[in-house]
Amino acid sequence: GFAKVKAVSRRDAEQSACAASAEVRPWEEGRMTHVGELQEAVNNHGRVQLFQDGGRSVAVKRMPTRWVCSGPREFDAQHTAAFERPWFDIGLLRLLNGVQYPYACRLHGIFRSDVETFVATTFCDGGDLFEWCF
């Protein structure tokens, strides 16, 4: 069975998103091997690509840093009407990973180059949940 998990509040997700933004590491070009394109991430102004990282497949969402900003507070201040909330999504994923929720992909890291922010997660064949639902 599942372990009991307390309800997640908006504040919990926001705190987790702030913690995630403090854990961003430099993107090391060539560290992972690019395999191919998975899909456009139009609402995030980016794209999702498949990489190999030490024998495991990872999905990497690439977004312009000028859009995703340095963290959730800056993003929310600059994009008050945005439909996508990438830092909120990252915060929720961190919380799900923290309780070892079995049906969430694993967040492998958040990276940044001079112009892009990269979010690396477990590759799940079949697309993302939004595409699957609709």
Task: Give residue-wise pLDDT tens across range 76-117.
Answer: 999 999 989 999 999 999 999 998 888 889 999 999 999 999
So what's the pLDDT on residue 134?
47
Question: Is pLDDT of 130 > 70?
Answer: no
Q: Which amino acid is at 5?
A: V
Helix (H, G, I), strand (E, B) or coil at 57: strand
Residue 46 zone, left/alpha/beta (φ > 0; ψ -120 to 50; rest) = beta
So what's the pLDDT on residue 128?
57
Question: Is pLDDT of 132 > 90?
Answer: no
> What are residue 41's DSSP bridge partners?
46
- Mean pLDDT (the chain) is 90
Q: For 121-126, what is the mean pLDDT?
A: 86
